[in-house]
Amino acid sequence: MGDKIEIKQNDAPSGGWGSVKEVSTILLRENVVASGTAVLAHQNKPDGFACVSCAWAKPANPHPAEFCESGAKATAWEITSHKLNTDFFASHTLTSLESWTDHALEEKGRLTEPMRWDAASDTYVPVSWEAAFAEIARELGQMAPKDVVFYSSGRASLETSYMYQLLARMYGNNNLPDSSNMCHESTSVGLQKTIGVPVGTVTLDDFEHTDCIFFFGQNVGVNSPRMLHQLQEARKRGVPIITFNPLKERGLVSFTNPQSPSEMLTGAETAISTQYLQVKAGGDTAAIMGLSKALIEADEQAQADNLARVLDVDFLATHTHDFDTYASAIKACSWADIERESGLTREALETAARVYAGASAVMGIYGMGITQHTQGVQNVAMVTNLLLMRGNIGKPGAGVCPVRGHSNVQGQRTVGITEKPELAPLDKLASQFRFTPPREKGMNTVEACEGILSGDVKAFIGLGGNFVRAVPETVLMEKAWRKLRLTVQVATKLNRNHIVHGEVAFLLPCVGRIEIDRQNGVAQSVSIEDSTGFMHGSKGRAEPASANLLSEPAIIAGLAKALLPTVPAVANVDWDGWVGNYARIRDAMEETFPEIFFQYNERMWMPGGFRRPIAAAHRVWNTPSGKAMFVVPEALDENPDMQDEAADVLRLFTVRSDGQFNTTIYSHDDRFRGVHGTRMVLFMARADMDRLGFAEGDMVTASTPADDGVDRSVAGLRITEYSVPEGCIAGYYPECNPLIPLWHYAKESKVPAAKAIDVRLQKMAA
């Protein structure tokens, strides 16, 4: 990279003029200033399209510009005028593209025609859609269904996702891993266990009624910036926001609303967090133990003093199970252990607990800092434990709010993308489509990786995403990937997973959600579910990148029809009718899930969307006990599977910058953290630098101290001083993924533990 590297402290608020500048820069770079500005006016509007960036809720009364800097970047990236044509592929072997960065690959622009890898020339060559479908189907027809994986990334619409799970099940497996398996699966497992629903209970309305927010491990300014509007409004009402995050993230410190002319002119900033607790990575369970302990102690004191109880004893008795066991475990846990594991003082935790106790409606918001740990499911349960102590679930202004990542990742689960057969309506699918759905458990992401490493998996179909780049164990995974017999990638832009491919490899370009998807000359719409369980319709606004693209539903239908010789059941679906009119896909969805999607074709256009039923939001607990469950933490220690206690072992957590959407790297800059021109950085505390003998700018190799015979290392990382708890360092995803062992994942949910990786650093020769 020829980028100039510059690292300096940034104290500017999130939002503000920096944000406006970023938006104009990317529109210019993608050469879509006029068209982009016109398209952005429809982003997240009731009659527009649902942003392809994050999953944050879309209000019924949107701001004139209901998008943020991150969303504008994602839009510009998709409707870019840059295109990848046949010439590009003819003049670049895939081997030569292996040295390209993630940024360089995607930056080239949109894919424009279907392609097949040609072994003789080592290039992608054009292929007709019919020939592609026929050959893929022929390959699949020769395989055992259990050896094929149907991955999806969380962007695909509800309609597409519904068709995709049906295709996989008709073909004969439940091998439907999705990006959620690397993300909020700890939520789906954890919340189901504690409150009986796999999703959060909070709505946008609750932000107007809350009087306290606890915010764990989510970087709102970068990853869901539209939520800053709700946080800012809450702060203006005086609502305290208590943040737990090892890094001082700009968006959680202060915000200037780029859509408020007066704030922009006066430079007014709203301070977001009222108390900022720089918890150790993996220290949240301990921190919440501390909060719980302070609450229990305060409650005992209140009883002794004959004052009002601190705990909501009525709620605990009526609505919860096993609080006493939880309380005993908390009492047995010492403040010394809590302070050591959380990295926070008793005093700071007691202060936060007092604010919690003084509020009548508290929300718990969280992200990857909670879920991507070996104890990710336990961490999620700790958040609900905390909320339940004062009845903070199922009343206005209170509740649990996991902030989902991809724009429809929550919705994919809702319409049957899951490897767990018990979560899919298999009996209903069987009668609706007259086939016998497979009942064996399918593979999640980690299990798919295991199958690819062992050679059991023979084919991988990717509906979007960049699997091989997003998963752990990058080096072994890429090597094993090349042994796959068949790889098929449905995509909009070129990425690493197209360069690293199987023996027979297809690259199938699709229409994006911002684009007009015409079938039989009629523009179609799709729909998505946001992070708060609301469904929204979405209509594309831009002309497709190429006339030779197919929509995702059309690609799935094409593949399904080609499978007819080996999968007779596909004849039971009117694929052409569905693709010709997406309202008919929604009719089928409605038949499968009537309680969620009744009258769907009309209701999907309600301003602000409509909400799926979420029992816990009404204090109905669909758990085995019929009550909300307290979970007793089994350990305070985050890394039971990586037990190297040596003094030079540091705990690495991987994060995103505002210059990326997952593996899509818009630029090598991280405006908020003041890093420019490089992503090969490790953020380290001054004390650790002194202790271990590192100076600012030192180049190091990081390696994982695991004795399983696998060499995991990343060279060329630059040490930079940063405010981060001692013993913890931060680095970027996906650059640091080669350091994560595949076996280092969350218990129960198998989410890779990307937020606590033991590493050792070695200075590189100058």
Q: What's 276's DSSP letter?
A: E
Of 276-284, 345-353, 476-484, 563-571, the segment contacting ligand MGD by CB under 6 A is 276-284
Token pair, residue 451, equals: 């199958």
Give yes or no for residue 74 binding Mo ion (CB under 5 A). no
Nearer to Mo ion, 183 or 377 (CB): 183
Question: Nearest distance from residue 420's CB to Mo ion, in Å?
Answer: 19
CB of 424 to ligand MGD, least distance (A): 21
Compute the distance between CA of residue 339 and CA of residue 337 in angstroms, rounded to an integer: 5
| Least distance (Å) between residue 491 CB and ligand MGD | 3
Q: Cα(653)–Cα(732) distance, rounded to whole angstroms? A: 8
Candidates 43, 245, 487, 703; binder of ligand MGD (CB under 6 A) is: 245
Which residues does 587 contact at the CB level (< 8 Å), separation at least 6?
600, 601
With CB under 6 A as the rule, give the number of residues binding ligand MGD.
61
Shorter beta-carbon distance to ligand MGD: residue 198 or 369: 369
Kindly state whether residue 402 participates in binding Mo ion, applying the rule CB under 5 A. no
Spatial distance between the Cα atoms of 610 and 600, rounded to a whole number of angstroms: 10
Candidate ranges 228-236, 318-326, 398-406, 694-702; the one touching Mo ion (CB under 5 A): 398-406
Read off φ and ψ for residue 253, nearest 5 degrees.
-95, -55
Residue 7 · residue 681 · CB < 8 Å: yes
Using the rule CB under 6 A, is 137 a contact of ligand MGD?
Answer: no
Query: Closest approach of Cβ 497 to ligand MGD, in Å?
Result: 8
Which of ligand MGD, Mo ion, none binds 631 (CB below 5-8 Å, type-dependent)? Answer: none
Nearer to ligand MGD, 176 or 403 (CB): 403
- If the CB atoms of residues 111 and 311 are measured against ligand MGD, the closer one turns out to be 111
Q: What angle do CA 91, 74, 547 make, to 5 degrees?
A: 50
Judged by beta carbon distances under 5 to 8 A according to partner kind, the member of Mo ion, ligand MGD, none in contact with residue 368 is ligand MGD
Q: What three-state secondary structure class fits 301?
A: helix
Site for ligand MGD contains 282 (CB under 6 A): yes
Nearest CA among 410, 492, 365 for reference residue 75: 492
From residue 178 to residue 197, what is the string marking binding to Mo ion with x (rule CB under 5 A)? Answer: -----x--------------
User: What's 357's DSSP letter?
Assistant: H
Q: CB under 5 A: which stretch of 100-108, 175-183, 262-270, 465-473 binds Mo ion?
A: 175-183
CA distance 115 to 117: 7
Binding to ligand MGD by residue 488, rule CB under 6 A? no
Taking the complex as a whole, how short is the minimal distance between the CB of residue 615 and ligand MGD, in angstroms?
A: 25
Q: Are 126 and 115 in contact (CB under 8 A)?
A: yes
Tokens of 82: 């840059």
Residue that the structure tokens 């879509």 belong to? 32
- Piece in contact with ligand MGD (CB under 6 A), picked from 205-213, 398-406, 427-435, 598-606: 398-406
Any contact of residue 284 with ligand MGD (CB under 6 A)? yes
The packing angle between helices 185-195 and 376-388, to 10°, is 40
Are 191 and 399 within 8 A, CB to CB? no
Tell me if 200 contacts ligand MGD by CB under 6 A: no
For Mo ion, give the closer residue by CB, 513 or 627: 513
Residues 559, 561, 564: CA angle, nearest 5 degrees: 115
Sign of CA dihedral 151, 153, 157, 158: positive
Residue by residue, what is the 3-state secondary structure of 670-702?
ECCCCEECCCCEEEECHHHHHHHCCCCCCEEEE
- 54 touches which of ligand MGD, Mo ion, none (CB within 5 to 8 A by kind)? ligand MGD
Given the rule CB under 6 A, which of 281-289, 300-308, 565-573, 586-594 is the region that contacts ligand MGD?
281-289
| Minimum CB distance to ligand MGD smaller for 399 or for 402 | 402
Under the binding rule (CB under 6 A), the answer on residue 470 touching ligand MGD is yes
Alpha helix locations (H) across 237-345?
250-253, 261-266, 284-304, 313-319, 323-332, 335-342
**What's the rounded Cα separation, in Å, for the pair 543 and 386?**
49
Residues 536, 108 contacting (CB under 8 angstroms):
no
Question: Is-contact 474 453, C-beta < 8 A?
Answer: no
Q: Which residues from 636-665 bind ligand MGD, rule CB under 6 A?
A: 653-656, 660-664
3-state secondary structure 58-124: CCCCCCCCCCCHHHHHHHHHHCCCCEECHHHHHCCCHHHHCCCCHHHHHHCCEECCCEEEECCCCEE
Minimum CB distance to ligand MGD, residue 151 (Å): 7
Residue from 71, 145, 405, 437 touching Mo ion (CB under 5 A): that is: 405
Per partner kind, with CB cut-offs from 5 to 8 A, the member of Mo ion, ligand MGD, none near residue 188 is none
- Least distance in angstroms from the C-beta of 70 to Mo ion: 14
CA–CA separation, 536 and 527 (whole Å): 5
Of 279 and 403, nearer to Mo ion (C-beta) is 403
Nearer Cβ to Mo ion, position 183 or 494?
Answer: 183
Give the CA angle between residues 102, 179, 559 to the nearest 5°: 90
Touching ligand MGD, residues 506-525 (CB under 6 A): 510, 512-513
CB of 292 to ligand MGD, least distance (A): 16
493 in contact with ligand MGD (CB under 6 A): yes
Query: How far is Cα 116 from Cα 110, in angstroms, rounded to an integer?
Result: 17
Residue 446 in contact with ligand MGD, rule: CB under 6 A? no
Q: Which of 124, 216, 435, 534 binds ligand MGD (CB under 6 A)?
A: 216
Name the binder of 466 from ligand MGD, Mo ion, none, CB < 5-8 A by kind: ligand MGD
Binding site for ligand MGD (CB under 6 A): 53-54, 70, 106, 153, 155, 179, 182-183, 216-219, 222-223, 244-247, 249, 279, 281-282, 284, 367-369, 372, 403, 405-406, 463-467, 470, 490-493, 495, 510, 512-513, 552, 653-656, 660-664, 733-734, 736-737, 754-755
- Residues in contact with Mo ion by CB under 5 A are 183, 405
